């Protein structure tokens, strides 16, 4: 029987995969962010599942700079 997230193309991630995907400092930090409502998650039985597109949206909404607002030329010169 396949587990959720065994397929690399699956849009669903388990907690370990989400923690790695988001580069969280620990699984505890991931669980705390879920509890605060910062990171969207789905509970299926006792397990948490995360949708990859929602995690991408979370990352996009928490970036420090908009892509067009950072002047790379000033950093290089």
Q: Which pLDDT score, from 0 to 100, does residue 63 have?
A: 75
Higher pLDDT, 69 or 15: 15
Inside any domain, residue 51: yes
Inside any domain, residue 9: yes
Domain count, the chain: 1
Residue owning tokens 């587990």: 3
| Backbone phi, psi, residue 38, to 5° | -75, -35
Inside any domain, residue 30: yes
Would the pTM of this model clear 0.75, i.e. be above it?
A: no
Cβ–Cβ under 8 Å, residues 12 and 4: yes
Please check the confidence at residue 12 and state whether its pLDDT lies above 80: yes
Inside any domain, residue 71: no
Domain limits at 23?
1-63
Inside any domain, residue 68: no
Q: Which pLDDT score, from 0 to 100, does residue 77 have?
A: 56
Inside any domain, residue 28: yes
- pLDDT, tens digit, 9 for 90 and up, residues 26-73: 999 999 999 999 999 999 999 999 999 999 999 988 777 666 655 666
């Amino acid at each position: 029987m396949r587990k959720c997230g065994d397929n690399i193309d699956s849009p669903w991630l388990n907690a370990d995969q989400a923690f790695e995907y988001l580069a969280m400092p620990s699984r505890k930090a991931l669980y705390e962010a879920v509890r605060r409502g910062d990171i969207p998650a789905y509970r299926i039985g006792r397990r948490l599942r995360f949708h990859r597109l929602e995690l991408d949206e979370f990352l996009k909404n928490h970036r420090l700079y908009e892509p067009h607002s950072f002047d790379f030329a000033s950093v290089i010169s």
